[in-house]
Amino acid sequence: MNTPNPKKAGPPQWATRFFRWFCNDHLSEAVLGDLEELYARRRPLLGKRKADLLFVMNVLLFLQPFAIKKRSSTPVNQLAMFENYFKIAWRTMSRQRLYTGIKIGGLAIAIGTCILITLFVRRELTYDQHYQKGDLVYRVYRESNLHGETERGIYFPAPFAKALQDEYPEIELAGHYNPSANAVDAGNTVRRGDEIESTHEDGFVYADQGLADIFELPFLRGNAQKALLEPNTLVITKRIADKYFANDDPIGKTLILNDDETQPYSISGVVQNPAATTHFQFNFLISLAGKEFWKGEKTAWMSSNYLDYIRVRPGTDVAALEEKMDALIGKYFVPSAAESGDDRSLMAWVKSLHFKLQPVQDIHLNTMSVGDNLTHGDVRYAWLFGAIAFFILTIACINFINLSTARSAHRAKEVGLRKVVGSPRSQLVNQFLIESLVFSFISFALGLALARTALPSFNTLLASPLTFPWEAWWFIPLLFLGAVLIGFVAGIYPSFYLSSFKPVDVLKGHTTLGARSSIRSLLVVFQFSISIILIVATLVIQQQMHFILHKKLGFNKDQVLILQDTHTLGDRIVTFKNELLQLPNIKHATISGFLPLEGADRNGNPFWADGEKEPEEGVGAQIWSVDHDYLPTLGIDLVAGRNFNVEMASDSQAVIINQTMANALNLKDPTGRAIVNPWKQKWNVIGIMEDFHFETLKKQIEPLCVVIGRSSNVVMVKIDSKHPQDAIESISGLWKKFSPHQAIRYTFLDQRYAAMYEEVHRTQQIFTGFAALAILLACLGLFALSAFLAEQRSKEISIRLVLGATAGSIFQLLTRNFMTLLCIALVIATPLSWYMMQRWLEDYVYKISISWSTFAIAGLVAVAIALFTVSYHTIRAALANPANRLRSE
């Protein structure tokens, strides 16, 4: 027999609740009872639907002034009420100092961390956003696709910028620049025209007036519209002007570069220092007017020396403009390639070209693998650090929630008494939310102070000048809003949880404390899952960094000195090198700008074996101009053939190739054979050198050949490892002899190699710090929870001890639940961290394999730290005298 559902048999529930809500208490029960009796008589006669409708109409008809609840006649002083809330909050914090310290300390650390990370993310995301018409500015790049491989580049011939502006009315301005120095031997020596001592400076760029107009450089002195129109003029930044012309007007003054008095430069303008958040950094803009780096450069279409920018007119369809720009290939590039002779590989490459436009605001966070040698950010890291900041703040908020709900027994009687004397639940919720806001504002103030204190160290770690935007109108309101938001997020659940206690249960002592709350357990699992993921990330990055720094590279980078600014010696550099070799403690010396470092000189050509039919696409290889001492200086071994011989004139047409190129040429024994390039230049292969890494380990070793020739005047010196300081002093003395008015500048090859991976090292340090913070915050919460649970179960522990339980079994009893949660966290974190770090390692061709031991170490570290954290209170509880606890029972 089916039992009727009382809810379905009665009138609509929502109408009943609505009636109780608006009707006076002294009428509610009597009138509602009459309406329900009337409903019961109507239903058998009229049916449920009509009876429900009539019931609702009766409820609504009773909505009259005499029946509506009157506001309480007892006036409530809201100000006094809130004052009382603050007093209660202060007393609670004073009485529970341990828990208060953990709540506030954890939130303060997390908030300080979040503020610093937010400053970093904001800086990364606002690069190149300060230009007035920045949304109309684009950098031009080329894209080609041959045999399924996409290659991008940003260097264009000298006449390209003018052709863009002349051919397309959509382009308002076009300009270009030529970076004058490479990453290894960066900069030039500078002196005033009326002085003799030179100083090294970085940041030299050859630019035209169009570029200055596109970026709307903020001129402090000089004519902004004409500053770069005249030959042998340059524009300097305010920093350079203050350094060299502190008390003078620099306009019209002369600067001498590299002691070349035959070509003085007149200062035509002074601009504000470039913003820290722009990719276009410079100290000197040298006019390109009348400048040719080689004869015929201004009309040559098959050279690649300039970076081109454009500013389009508002409303321009950029995608359509890109398609139209490809017409320049057939108009200029194809005819120029045809003039180079019967070069099918060159023509195939030219015909595969497409021109693209990259928004200037995307350059910093999107390298697009164009080889611009800029220090790029990575949008993945920006969002990753933002996510880590969120997780760290979440861990701190979880501590707050866990401790607030765990200490609920201490507030239960207070809640019960307040409800008994008439306090509605909404007031209790407000009270606990205000307590949470008090915690939040105190934590925010401390967190802001911590962030300001740590900012210099954080800037050093990131190598970026972060500052607090106090001058921005939104900054202070944003901090206030953040404090309020965190207070609400951390306090909303405890507020509703604490205010939900029933007075009868509380006063009878039947309140459930939720020691094994599933929500609290889930939060602890979440905390330690994040911590373990960060530990794994730290270990993997550390292992990859160790692999990078200790991998066999194929050359010896130790005790190799790189002398900088040696290009100022001019033709005397060969004499300088010869005298270097006569010094004690000097083993080898070489002159070449082609170094096994990212950002050094590079020169690529296609090659094929002489005597074979010219292929559609030859073997793409680097061809480096070196001298006879290059291989011995870097300790590069030969696997076949011989090195260059200074006494053999025929070696001027000789070449040494690496193993990768020998394999690419598909020659069993390339020694004695010849290779040619599209320009019909031929070299005889005299040796095969062992493969060595001349780019980062993110790239595969590519074909490489070296020939005798002159390149940038960079001098490398192999010194005696037993007497390095004596060698440096001898070199310094010889330098002073050749360049008495210029200080010697040098660096070591191994330092430059390590600098290539500075970003990896920096990432490792950041993740180590984040992992330590996450573990610290998680352990703070665990410490407080273990103290609470030990206190809560103190009588149980005492009874167990009286019945013969050992201290070890008590320790096991109190830690078992925590260890179970840690194991669950490890199970969750292991696949997530493996996936994340596999994705990170995909950037490297040469990399480590993530082994199971990494996760085992991370798990053991987490377990050891957690055990150490909870052991204090558990051991204390296990060793306490049970008589002291059971005395009152």
In whole angstroms, give the CA distance from residue 696 to residue 706.
19
Q: Are residues 746 and 803 in the same domain?
A: no
Written as six digits, the tokens of 44 are 């058998």
Q: Are residues 318 and 415 in the same domain?
A: no
In whole angstroms, give the CA distance from residue 220 to residue 49.
83
Q: Are residues 710 and 852 in the same domain?
A: no
Residue at 373 is within a domain:
no
Question: What is residue 686's three-state secondary structure?
Answer: strand
In whole angstroms, give the CA distance from residue 401 to residue 284.
56
Closest CA to 524 of 824, 772, 790, 871: 824
Three-state SS annotation for 771-787: HHHHHHHHHHHHHHHHH
Q: Are residues 813 and 668 in the same domain?
A: no
Q: Are residues 458 and 575 in the same domain?
A: no
Domain count across the chain: 4
DSSP 244: H
Closest CA to 406 of 299, 562, 513, 301: 513
Q: Would you say residue 618 has pLDDT above 80? A: no
Q: Does residue 545 contact residue 440 with C-beta atoms inside 8 Å?
A: no
Query: In this predicted model, what pLDDT tens digit does every residue of 573-588 receive, in sequence order?
Result: 999 999 999 999 999 9
At 344, is the pLDDT very low, low, confident or very high (cuts 50, 70, 90)?
low
Cross-strand bridge partners of residue 747? 562
The residue assigned the tokens 């090292």 is 761
As a whole number, mean pLDDT of residues 550-561 equals 93
Half-sphere exposure of 882 (CA within 13 A, CB side): 16
Alpha-helical regions (H) of 463-583: 475-498, 503-508, 518-550, 573-580
Closest CA to 184 of 756, 631, 568, 691: 756
In whole angstroms, give the CA distance from residue 387 to residue 118.
10
Closest CA to 651 of 660, 659, 641: 641
Residue at 300 is within a domain:
yes
Q: Are residues 763 and 744 in the same domain?
A: no
- Do strands 284-287 and 233-237 pair parallel, antiparallel, or not at all (unpaired)? antiparallel
In whole angstroms, give the CA distance from residue 83 to residue 620.
78
Written as six digits, the tokens of 753 are 């190699």
Written as six digits, the tokens of 9 are 């048999």
Cross-strand bridge partners of residue 688? 640, 657
At 710, is the pLDDT very low, low, confident or very high (cuts 50, 70, 90)?
confident
Q: Please give the residue range of the domain that contains residue 14.
A: 6-61
Residue at 736 is within a domain:
yes
Find the farthest-apart pair of alpha carbons in the chain and give their distance in angstroms, rounded: 123
Q: Would you say residue 345 has pLDDT above 70? A: no
Half-sphere exposure of 246 (CA within 13 A, CB side): 1
Residue at 369 is within a domain:
no
pLDDT at 144: 83
CA 535 vs. chain centroid, Å, equals 18
In whole angstroms, give the CA distance from residue 782 to residue 769.
20
Lowest-confidence segment of 117-126, 157-166, 186-195, 556-565 by average pLDDT: 186-195
The residue assigned the tokens 């490479």 is 182
As a whole number, mean pLDDT of residues 674-682 equals 82
Question: What is residue 138's three-state secondary structure?
Answer: strand
Phi first, then psi, for residue 308 (nearest 5°) are -110, 140
Q: Are residues 199 and 268 in the same domain?
A: yes
Closest CA to 248 of 262, 260, 236: 236
Residue at 568 is within a domain:
yes
Residue at 775 is within a domain:
yes
Q: Would you say residue 186 has pLDDT above 60? A: no
Three-state SS annotation for 46-92: HCHHHHHHHHHHHHHHCCCCCCECCCCCCCCCHHHHHHHHHHHHHHH
Count Cβ atoms within 10 A of the Cβ of residue 655 and give its class: 0-12 exposed, 13-18 middle, 19 or more buried: buried
Residue at 698 is within a domain:
yes
Give the H/E segment covering residue 833.
helix 807-841
In whole angstroms, give the CA distance from residue 585 to residue 581.
9
Q: Are residues 647 and 763 in the same domain?
A: no
Residue at 436 is within a domain:
yes
In whole angstroms, give the CA distance from residue 714 to residue 590.
8
Cross-strand bridge partners of residue 740? none
As a whole number, mean pLDDT of residues 352-380 equals 84
Question: What is residue 414's three-state secondary structure?
Answer: helix
Percent of the chain with pLDDT over 90: 39
pLDDT at 770: 85
Query: In this predicted model, what pLDDT tens digit does every residue of 852-889 receive, in sequence order?
Result: 999 999 999 988 888 888 888 788 777 877 777 666 55
Query: In this predicted model, what pLDDT tens digit does every residue of 238-275 receive, in sequence order?
Result: 999 999 998 889 999 999 988 888 889 999 999 999 99
Q: Does residue 346 contact residue 678 with C-beta atoms inside 8 Å?
A: yes
Instruction: Identify residue 286 by its one-letter amino acid code.
Output: I
Give the H/E segment covering residue 355.
strand 353-359
Q: Are residues 647 and 673 in the same domain?
A: yes
DSSP 332: I
At 514, is the pLDDT very low, low, confident or very high (cuts 50, 70, 90)?
very low
Give the H/E segment covering residue 750.
helix 749-755
Count Cβ atoms within 10 A of the Cβ of residue 498 and give its class: 0-12 exposed, 13-18 middle, 19 or more buried: buried
Instruction: Identify residue 211 by its one-letter amino acid code.
Output: L
Query: In this predicted model, what pLDDT tens digit does every residue of 731-781 receive, in sequence order?
Result: 999 999 998 888 888 999 999 998 888 888 888 888 888 888 888 888 888
Please give the mean pLDDT across all residues of the chain: 86
Lowest-confidence segment of 175-189, 604-618, 842-856 by average pLDDT: 175-189
Q: Would you say residue 516 has pLDDT above 50? A: no
Given 738, 754, 770, which residue is the final one in a domain? 754
In whole angstroms, give the CA distance from residue 547 to residue 535.
18
Q: Are residues 731 and 762 in the same domain?
A: no
Q: Would you say residue 724 has pLDDT above 60? A: yes
pLDDT at 341: 59
Q: Are residues 702 and 828 in the same domain?
A: no
Closest CA to 790 of 810, 820, 819: 810
In whole angstroms, give the CA distance from residue 355 to residue 16.
72
Neighbours of 342 (CB within 10 A): 10
How far lies 426's CA from each of 19, 432, 435, 756, in Å?
A: 20, 10, 14, 60
**Of how many residues is the chain composed?**
889
pLDDT at 211: 96
Closest CA to 843 of 718, 697, 641, 711: 697
Cross-strand bridge partners of residue 656? 687, 706
Lowest-confidence segment of 69-83, 227-241, 620-634, 761-775 by average pLDDT: 69-83
DSSP 702: P
Q: Does residue 178 contact residue 339 with C-beta atoms inside 8 Å?
A: no
Q: Are residues 170 and 307 in the same domain?
A: yes
The residue assigned the tokens 């070793």 is 701
Closest CA to 714 of 540, 576, 877: 576
For residue 212, give every residue at least 6 positions away whose Cβ sits within 8 Å of its Cβ, in sequence order, or none. 175, 224, 227, 228, 235, 285
Three-state SS annotation for 619-635: EEEEEEEECCCHHHHHC
Taking each helix axis from N to C end, the angle separating 97-125 and 475-498, rounded to the nearest 10 degrees, works out to 140
Q: Would you say residue 5 has pLDDT above 60? A: no
Neighbours of 291 (CB within 10 A): 15
- Do strands 604-609 and 715-719 pair parallel, antiparallel, or not at all (unpaired)? unpaired
How far lies 517's CA from each of 41, 520, 521, in Å?
A: 48, 5, 6
Give the H/E segment covering residue 418.
helix 409-420
230-239: b (≥16 Cβ within 10 Å) or e: eeebbbbbee
In whole angstroms, give the CA distance from residue 429 to residue 436.
11
Closest CA to 624 of 655, 652, 649, 669: 655
**CA torsion sign, 82 to 83 to 85 to 89?**
positive
